[in-house]
Chain A
Amino acid sequence: MRRIHIASLFALSGLALLSSCDIQAQAKERSYGLAEEYRFDKSNTIFLEDLPEGTDAPLMGALEMLCGTPAEPQLMLLEDWVDEGYDPNFPEYPVGDMGSGEISEDEMALIEEDNMRVFAVQLEAIAEGDYAGVVPFRGAPVLQAKWDDFLADALEDEDGDGAPDFVVEEDDSPNYVAVDSEELFREEAAMLLIGWYPRLVDSADLYRLECMHCHGNEGAGDGSTAPFLHPAPRNYQPGWFKWAAVENKAKPRRVDLYNILSEGAYTSAMPNFKRFSRAQLHGLVDYVRLLSIRGETERMLVLELDGGASLTPALISETYSDIWEQWNNADERVVHCEGDVPEPTAELLARGRELYMDANGGNCYSCHGDLGLGDGASAWEEVDGVSQRIVDDWGEEIIPRNLTSGIYRGGRRPIDIYRRISIGITGTPMPAVPDTLTEEDRWAIVHYVLSLSDVHDGVGLDSMRMRAAHADHSDEDHDSEGH
């Protein structure tokens, strides 16, 4: 009798586990919520509950109209866009053809090449006519639905000869052309996969699987894992992104968001997502932008409501289009330099050290410390007689980078460091250097900063040790064929 009890206990817990795995189905029921707290700067925080009564429902409605729901994310088109044939929901189509033209033809070719790798198993199954062997596409429900429809249509047997007809009418199922033979069907089916660019629904699905547990449903950086992490996951809602190549607090370009997804923020909890396909990463960029635009619209409207304005359609569309304008003009605010990256000479490094230590120059030492260990005095402030770390605009403690570690979250290329120095880090106490510093001055600081990790990270020492070891070995008469 006892054994039966134990067995049923196992069965029950197994069932419970199975049902809890059905996360996606539950998530589809979700909608976007409103934030409870809007932090604008250190002195200005608005709480949702302080807004005039009855404003949250219309606000939710307005945001849904602009950006849809997690189950059906969709960016509302502005009036001008319709006339221009511009639609950011379709970045792979050209402007004029209801697309935004953000994915160039060259990029699309790379995406197609990558899709062939990602869908290799499915493409092989299609080529062999093993249609049941086309395994489901993870994180791509729209593609899955299209494929299922297409296959079901093709496999219908209307002439009753016991074999599939492979006939699909064009108007019957949009996005693929009419086929009337198995050969044509295979070609079109392969094109469906190779030419895949994710829709926002696909990307929302992938976001739920991979990003939401840190960045949250609305992208407010409040996912379930977030409380355990330092630095905290990015809150997209203010529209600030730390690792972008644009002026401080300007909107990032697509490539900035793409790079952070593909490279990760090294040694933070943000991993690189190079294991995803190019198409998936572009799709996630689209979706993060949607969340950011939705979040910033929400914040701006809350600020207006708090100031006594009422939620009119004009206010909503004006706020939305202002934010869009910033995103679409990101390219104008890129920071780059004209000349080539100079070689580090002894003079340049000396100049760099000078500027690093100069309070009116780079002033780097004040936070990063004389030796670059991230232990400068200005990284601390006294609050009510207690010394504590300074905080960033998200209200989180900031630890200045230990420049001897060789870890640079925004990239380690000289131009990446150049940008950090020229832009600062958006939302943090890391400022831009003064405008008075010339391009050459900035390169001097870049090279000085990079030189700080030359030896201290252990790499230099190790390679020296390795070379010494090789020198030892080459003296001896070893049998090198032994491997």
Chain B
Amino acid sequence: MRLLVTLLLFLVPVLGVWTFWTAEENGWWMPETVTTYGPDIDYLFYLILWMVAFFFILTEGLLVWFVFKYSKKDDTKGVYSHGNHKLELLWTVVPGILLLVIAFSQMETWADIKYRGNLPKTPPIAHVWASQFDWRVQYPGADGEFGTWDDVESPHLFVVPSDEDVVFILHSRDVLHSFFVPAFRLKQDAVPGMAIPVWFNVDKAIDEEGAEDKEAIRLYDLICTELCGWGHYKMAGRVEVRSREKFDEWMAEQEANVMSNGKEDQS
């Protein structure tokens, strides 16, 4: 019985490590990143993952061993311990140092991506509106001004040009949502009442085989990662990345559609 319980408990670290080990070949891992800051995020991710993996295996190993070694035997009395000062110092100072390492190594990346002062100096390409349960993108239209009569509205599909800084303003119409494009390593909460500038630059054009094709039109999943209501599970959109030329073509089509007098409706 003692061995059985220990083995069951041992399954936790084994399965935990196994899920990570096989995640990539099972398709459970994140897609390859395509943005300029993606590699920086990945570096931080792996840094933390390896640290956590080391301590996970260490602590789980100890836990399993202790369960086996110290499980109840007949006729033994418990030992009262008031702790070990040196040990306590050790497991306070070491994690403290590690946390500082993490804190300092992420600062520059965070500042690059999130600080408004570091926002690329290009005018916003679009306003992205999150609402229950819909992503809707508002482009300025032919006059280049947002909030005017000729604005282009694109539900579900956020079309952006590749190889340049793209700035957009994120809004929520109702509750908290979160804009997440896994392939971009970009996640930003949408907060009601706030207009949050967000930027990215897609500089890699990687298809499913990992081959680069700058001319291809690529689609990436855009998902809501903040539980926002009953339909949260279906609040998905797509980011479509095109070369500048093809982006302009698409935009011209949309602008013409806005100017339609209804004689030839697009289906």
Give the interface of A toward B (CB within 8 A): 107, 245, 254-255, 258-259, 262-264, 266-267, 269, 271-272, 274-275, 334-341, 344, 406-407, 412-415, 418-419, 447, 450-451, 453-455, 457-460, 462-463, 465-467, 469-470, 473-474, 478, 480, 482-483
Contacts and interface: CB of A to CB of B under 8 A. Distances in A.
A106 B260 CA distance: 20
B263 A453 contact: no
A463 B147 contact: yes
A334 B267 CA distance: 14
B242 to A, nearest CB: 15
B151 to A, nearest CB: 7
A337 B261 CA distance: 6
Interface of B: 36-37, 112, 116-121, 123-124, 127, 131-134, 136, 138, 140, 145-151, 153, 155-157, 165, 169, 171, 173, 195, 197, 199, 201, 231, 234, 236, 238, 257-263, 265-267
A457 B127 CA distance: 12
B138 A341 contact: no
Given A263-B155, A450-B149, A258 B267 contact: yes
Contacts of A269: 231
Contact of A474 (B121, B127, B231): B121
Contacts of A460: 145-148
Contact of B261 (A262, A267, A406, A415): A415
Contact of A107 (B146, B201, B267): B267
B120 A480 contact: yes
17 contacts: A245-B262, A255-B266, A264-B155, A272-B155, A274-B156, A274-B157, A336-B263, A340-B261, A341-B260, A413-B257, A450-B148, A454-B148, A454-B149, A469-B116, A474-B121, A483-B118, A483-B201
A112 to B, nearest CB: 15
A271 B169 contact: no
Given A254-B267, A412-B153, A463-B140, 19 more contacts: A264-B134, A266-B131, A266-B134, A266-B155, A267-B131, A271-B234, A414-B258, A415-B262, A454-B147, A459-B147, A460-B146, A463-B147, A466-B197, A467-B123, A470-B123, A473-B121, A478-B117, A478-B121, A483-B118
Contacts of B149: 344, 414, 447, 450-451, 454
Contacts of B197: 466
Nearest to A106: B267
Contacts of B116: 469
Contacts of A266: 131, 134, 136, 155
Contacts of B169: 462-463, 466
B265 A483 contact: no
Contacts of A454: 147-149
Contact of A463 (B146, B156, B236): B146
A482 to B, nearest CB: 6
A245 B262 CA distance: 8
A374 to B, nearest CB: 16
B170 to A, nearest CB: 11
B118 A482 contact: yes
B97 to A, nearest CB: 28
Contacts of B112: 482-483
Contact of B37 (A272, A344, A415, A483): A483
Contact of B117 (A259, A335, A412, A473): A473
A407 B234 CA distance: 21
A275 B147 contact: no
A478 B132 CA distance: 38
Nearest to A258: B267
A466 B234 contact: no
A415 B148 contact: no
A259 B131 CA distance: 19
Given A266-B134, A466-B169, A483-B120, A272 B156 contact: yes
A341 B261 contact: yes
Contacts of B117: 473, 478
B118 A413 contact: no
B156 A275 contact: yes
A338 B261 contact: yes
B217 to A, nearest CB: 10
Contacts of B238: 274-275
A134 to B, nearest CB: 17
Contacts of A462: 127, 146, 169, 195
A459 B265 contact: no
Nearest to B131: A267
B114 to A, nearest CB: 12
Nearest to A225: B230
Contacts of B37: 483
Nearest to A339: B261
Contacts of B134: 264, 266-267, 271-272
A95 to B, nearest CB: 19
A245 B117 CA distance: 47
Given A266-B155, A462-B195, A467-B123, A457 B147 contact: yes
B165 A463 contact: no
Contacts of A335: 262
Contacts of B199: 483
A415 B262 CA distance: 6
A269 B132 CA distance: 8
Contact of A275 (B131, B173, B236): B236
**CB-CB nearest 8 A-B residue pairs:** A336-B262, A459-B147, A274-B156, A460-B147, A450-B149, A463-B146, A255-B267, A462-B195
